[in-house]
Amino acid sequence: MKESILSISEKTFILSALSETRRLDGRKLDEFRPMKIHFGSDWGCCIVTLGQTKVIAQVSCEVQQPKPTRPNEGLLLLFVELSPMGAPHFEAGRQSDLAVQLNRLLEKCIKDSRCVDLESLCITAEEKVWAVRVDVNILNHEGNLVDAASLAALTALSHFRRPDVTTTGEQTIIHDPAERDPIPITLHHHPVCVSYAVFDKGNHVIADPTAIEERVSEGQIVFGVNAYRELCGLHLGGNAPITLEMVNKYATRAAKRALELVTQMKKALAEDLKNRISGIEVGFRDCIDSNNRLSLGKDNFQIQLFTPDFKKERAKRASNIDVKEEKINDEVMDDSSEDDSEPVIVSVGKGSAELVNQKKQDMKLRRKRKLQNDEGGKEYDVDESSSSEESDNLDKESEDTRKNGEPMSDSEIQVVAEYKGTENKPNENKVIANIELSGDSEEEETVLLHGEDLKNGSTEKGRGRCPKEEKMEGDEPHSRGWYSKPTW
Amino acid sequence: MEDSAIFNVQEQWLRPLRCELNVLSRPDGSAMITQGSYFILCCYVNTFLYSYRVHIFFFKGNTAVVAAVYGPVDVKPQRILVDKASIETVYKPKSGLPNVADRMRETIIKNTCETALLSAIHPRTAVCIVLQEMQDSGGLLSCCINAACMALMDSGIAMKFLVAAVSCMISEDDIILDPSDKDLMGSKASLTFVFDSAKKNLVASHTSGVFSQEQYHESLLKCRQASCEIFEFYRSLVKKYIICI
């Protein structure tokens, strides 16, 4: 069977969703799918599920002659098999490009990082060594096969027990597992692959891509990282321009993920061992929960654009609140804006405020902000519960200030004046927008003002900063995509 | 659904089955079947003072298979059949390349599914059945056939009937139903029978080893009786999944 063609509309849909930091399955950009490990009753057999991706690995061993170049080292062989079970376009018994690539990546990660102690697999130098073979079979391909396969291979290797061997002079005895307890393989460290997909010339990088995201992506970054945060392998695929900073940044994140994975793996291994010691027979039977219809199976709703966050946001909008809030958990894609990833409340004149996603503001604004920060202004970070309250306070305070007729600084006078100015002359290089108070309309223009307004407002008693100071391109009103597009 | 042992004939039972449908998202239909588990036998021991309840644990292997089906799909020109759908079967062992026994198994599954499917209504197409061994603790072939049948049912392709496979073995003196790998060590012959759900007719029979004609007939009878339990299991499974589908 041929691989189904990816339509342009699917492609653009995914890309436009990504540009609004949304993913089809409702994950955040740097969020990974949940991982589960099930062990079979044999040693060295496990299923790893990563979201819907399912991979089974089995380790086996046999006695072989060592390589003449390395006479006292055992052999480690890794095989990744793509059967049509995983996806219809995989063919049985034929090495496809993907299979070769996966094989090589796994070899890079596990074999070349020398995590398996090969010397302990030696029985007699130059004559007999253990050849450990890892077979990884893909059961279901829903993207990120590398991560699942590498984790499955590593888990199977750490789970595996080889028969005990004694050598007496010329005789070598391989003991039956019933006779002598089999011996685990020594692993020096636990490297796993963590992969990212790159979109839009490196502007969007997502963790743990699904099959469709992989097909749309411009490039892949695969890190082989161990739990000690050591890089064991790096693969840059595709044609996306990937900078050194990006590699560094995502390598640190990958290390964090690797630590999580390895901890989870060790926990699963310990639990399995505990069950085996206490006499509970372990097997795949346990991964089918007879009370649950889909314990291993897929979720019924795979596309989850309407995440709880989104619903909350929509409900807020419907209830007509001045301060619109959104919880922005998404990672910001360029380095410079990392510190700005928190939403910021900006006041849009008296009695109203707007929450603005800082990362979408342009560099010009950032530079301006730096200047302002030097002047003592700070960003005002908002958390969901307090934001509307705060803005009320702000309003009251600003009203109070005006009523009380507190001595105003020059800057504040300037503010008022300038603000009027912006209202009157829309073509000026300032932020101009209609603040939308009704909340019904789908089309909305968002005013881009600055957080310093609010900060100053609350701390310096309504001494709002002038919108003019933020020299924005006023002509392009910043609109949040998922507000203005009713289809979402 | 409880994992109760199926006491079918006295001291003869099938290992309890567990099945999950739709385990894989890519194929049109998929099923995972595990067979075998602990058996708990409850006995009451009466002494003059107390009545004890004694649980006796047996463990009989844990065979597990995943099957996936791709419904009528396009077919390679060399395999095209003008009057019916061509059925392709792929059996993947857990480790290594498929050997002769695996190929044999593949052919038996293919022939069985060909009988069960209404292939004439999809000419010039292919039905692809993929099986992945996950654990072999005896009765792998029967488990594979049952899993393939469940996957076909899950995919919603038209079938004449469902099939149920039961394996048994002939030891020195008696016939053991659904033997585990430990039981099979002392077997003279092992037999696998496949029955249809409509009339409980024999669909396929696969034997190895030495046995007499009487033994064959006797084991056929026992397996046919046991196959009813499997069909009953299918029924309960469909009842369970009818809400999902």
Residues of A in contact with B244 (CB under 8 A): 293-294, 300
8 Å CB contact of A58 and B3: no
Say whether residue B130 is in contact with chain A using an 8 A CB cutoff. Answer: yes
Say if A469 falls within a structural domain.
no
Question: Which of A230-244, A294-308, A395-409, B195-209 is the most confident on average?
Answer: B195-209
Give yes or no: residues A247 and A372 share one domain.
no
CATH 3.30.230.70 at B2-243, yes or no: yes
Give yes or no: residues A295 and A351 share one domain.
no
Residue A471 has pLDDT above 60, yes or no: no
Residue A181 has pLDDT above 60, yes or no: yes
Contacts of residue A56, Cβ cutoff 8 Å, sequence gap at least 6: A45, A46, A47, A48, A136, A137, A139, A152, B94, B132, B134
Q: Which of B22, B134, B240 sits opposite A298 (nearest CB)?
A: B22
Answer for the pair B66, B29: CB distance below 8 angstroms, yes or no: no
What was the pLDDT predicted at A57?
A: 96
A-B CB pairs within 8 A amount to 133
Say whether residue B170 is in contact with chain A using an 8 A CB cutoff. Answer: no
Residue A297 has pLDDT above 90, yes or no: no
Say whether residue B26 is in contact with chain A using an 8 A CB cutoff. Answer: yes
Give yes or no: residues A349 and A214 share one domain.
no
Give yes or no: residues A183 and A273 share one domain.
yes
Compare all CA atoms of chain A with the CA of B238 and give the residue at the minimum distance.
Answer: A293
Say if A213 falls within a structural domain.
yes
Give yes or no: residues A403 and A273 share one domain.
no
**Tokens read off for A115:** 């995590």
Query: Of the residues A257, A273, A304, which one is the last residue of a structural domain?
Result: A304
Contacts of residue A339, Cβ cutoff 8 Å, sequence gap at least 6: none
A287–chain B nearest CA distance, Å: 10
Residue A308 burial class via C-beta count within 10 angstroms: exposed 0-12, middle 13-18, buried 19 and up? exposed
What was the pLDDT predicted at A286?
A: 73
Answer for the pair B204, B191: CB distance below 8 angstroms, yes or no: no
Say whether residue B199 is in contact with chain A using an 8 A CB cutoff. Answer: no
Say if A352 falls within a structural domain.
yes
pLDDT in tens, A66-111: 999 999 999 999 999 999 999 999 988 778 899 999 999 999 999 9
Query: Of the residues A273, A304, A335, which one is the last residue of a structural domain?
Result: A304
Strands A128-140 and A75-82: parallel
Give yes or no: residues A169 and A240 share one domain.
yes
Say whether residue B1 is in contact with chain A using an 8 A CB cutoff. Answer: yes
pLDDT in tens, A219-235: 999 999 998 989 999 99
What was the pLDDT predicted at A487?
A: 39
Mean pLDDT score, A116-123: 93
Answer for the pair B108, B204: CB distance below 8 angstroms, yes or no: yes
Partners of residue B63 on adjacent β-strands: B35
Residues of chain B with pLDDT under 70: 1-12, 37-60, 244-245
Say whether residue A5 is in contact with chain B using an 8 A CB cutoff. Answer: no
B143–chain A nearest CA distance, Å: 13
A141–chain B nearest CA distance, Å: 7
Give yes or no: residues A67 and A19 share one domain.
yes
Give yes or no: residues A371 and A274 share one domain.
no
Q: For the domain that residue A215 is a member of, what is the CATH number?
A: 3.30.230.70
Report ipTM (2 d.p.): 0.86
Number of domain units in chain A: 2
Say whether residue B89 is in contact with chain A using an 8 A CB cutoff. Answer: no
Provide the domain limits for residue A32.
8-304
Say whether residue B66 is in contact with chain A using an 8 A CB cutoff. Answer: yes
8 Å CB contact of B20 and A288: yes
Give yes or no: residues A213 and A91 share one domain.
yes
Say if A109 falls within a structural domain.
yes
Give yes or no: residues A74 and A131 share one domain.
yes
Say if A461 falls within a structural domain.
no
Give yes or no: residues A228 and A348 share one domain.
no
Answer for the pair B197, B177: CB distance below 8 angstroms, yes or no: no
Distance CA(B185)–CA(B179), nearest Å, equals: 10
8 Å CB contact of A283 and B135: yes
* DSSP-assigned letters across all residues of A198-225: EEGGGTEEEES--HHHHHH-SEEEEEEE
